[in-house]
Amino acid sequence: MTPASLPRAAPSASSPLDLTAIRADFPALGRRVHRRRLVYLDNAATTQKPRAVLAALRRHYVRDNGNVRRAAHTLGARATAAYERAREVVARFLGAEPGEIVFTRGTTESINLVAASYARSRLRAGDEVLVTEMEHHANIVPWQMACRATGARLRVAAVDVHGVLDRGSFAAALGARTKIVALAHASNALGTVNPVAELTRLAQRAGAVVVVDGAQAVPHLAVDVRAIGCDFYACSGHKLYGPTGVGVLYGRKSLLAEMPPWQGGGEMVRSVTWDDAVYDDPPHRFEAGTPAVAEAVGLAAALTYLTHLGRDAIARHEADVLALAAAELARVPGLRLIGTAPEKVGGHSFVLDGIHAHDVATILDGEGIAVRAGHHCAQPLLRRFGVPATVRVSFALYNGADDVARLVEALAVVRRRLA
């Protein structure tokens, strides 16, 4: 299939999304970059925001802006109600209860919260934390820090040449010393989807608590934390078409109740004396200070927007685009895909023979196409594949076959200029 013959970005039997209408919902997509229609393929880094989210943010600041909890005035009460409604929306979206949803600044802070509060209070010298070779730095460094502070040991389960987790390596690493297993639901660098429910069962049978980094999975897959069975699940608002500065930590209620606060301050205590403090119940125990109220409201608007479109419809559409992109990229001379797992979401990483990834990204930007180049905060993983950097193209619900065509055409420009 040549780029000129690629199917038009329109609803089909397999993809019922109306891309014209959806793109109109995202004002940023209407802009031009270097006099070309913007093709935004950096969605694994952050997504663009629909009008519903922008309107919710403006409405909150204009009509409901006040600090939450304890306020006796109307605006404070409205802000508190909106903030707690947002928690309820997030809980429904993830299959949890509101009391199990902690608002954070993002996936990174969520994982750090678990590592600092849960892990450091329980790990002992000789214990082990198991991660996988495909983890983002945000799911490596906090565990390194926790291990260093407690005398525990970090172990790593390998991935194979396709970027698939080696289940034999994973199972072999589990043992009586394994106290925590932290793994990605989907790899940010490769798109590989891990069978997290199965891996959770294996880990819990070994006596481990399971922490899932869901930053790259939740935008593309319907996630039910009860069905997965994990103990903690983390994700970010800005990758879910919501604002930056807000994220989510789902925690099993019984575990949250046992965990000490991570940060101290206002709003996380019931009473304070010079000698001591009585902490609030979860989730407020973990939300010291003024939270990101407007951002939580904006995140709730984003999740409502996604629910209205239909998670299954979004998943089918994105799977079609992902498969089309894989087929077309495979035909580009000198291009090598990094990560060819049969189960993938989000996007593809690749290298072009003899051309640095940053040079590829720079020329693509000149063609109006936004991609990501570098190590994607997954340096150990890229070293496993013997490359210092890749180009990553990542898709969202507003991307279509026409975007794939533009990408392929622009890669031909890259080769003409640099090959």
Q: Which two tokens stand for residue 350?
A: 């690749």
Catalytic residue among 147, 230, 235, 377: 377
Based on the residue annotation, tell me whether 377 is a catalytic residue of this protein: yes
Active site residues: 377
